[in-house]
Amino acid sequence: MFGDFTHEAFDFFLHRPPLKRKMEILTNEFKNNPAITILIAAENRPFIIDSLNSLLAKLGLQTIFTFHPVINSIRDEKGNLTDIADKGEGGINEYLVYIKILGAFDEKTLLEIKSEINNVIDLVDYTYNSWQTLLNKSIAITTDIVHHKDIRRNFGPDDRKMENHGQD
């Protein structure tokens, strides 16, 4: 069983359009029960599995297992995998997600699942891409507060009670 899904996942991972997410949902069977396989490959992001697990639980889907390696990939200009590098030897960290879910789903439902997954990954990407900007703004605000120790002058008489911890 392990060899079957790792082979399928690796075949999927061999090509990914440059700078684009790749996703497929395949209908199949698992131990003679109807099932689907969700395959996703993209540039690695924190919290991707937590976000996907939360979504699948919200949708009430019965996940059998999840396979999620992060692979330091080297690809050619067409997105073909040319090598897997050791950490620190170049390449781009990409995630590969392989999720097996029990159930029979019609085409409309599969499209809805795919859309929901894309929405969640878009939110993860947005958060990841916004993080440094938000961190820089937080640091700037903190720095301003630290360097303006006379900020107490801006408080009204009622606010000064806070300085004495309510003891007047």
pLDDT, tens digit, 9 for 90 and up, residues 65-113: 999 999 999 999 999 999 999 877 888 999 999 999 999 999 999 999 9
What pLDDT does residue 152 have? 47
Look at residue 166 and tell me whether its pLDDT is greater than 70.
no
Give the pLDDT score at 68. Answer: 93
Phi, psi of 91 (to 5 degrees): 90, 180
Segment among 9-13, 34-38, 52-56, 138-142 with least mean pLDDT: 138-142
pLDDT of residue 151: 54
In CATH, the architecture of 2-145 is 2-Layer Sandwich (3.30)
Report domain extents, the chain: 2-145
How confident is residue 145, by pLDDT bands cut at 50, 70 and 90?
Answer: confident
Give CA–CA dist 157/137, Å, rounded.
30
Mean pLDDT of 157-163: 52
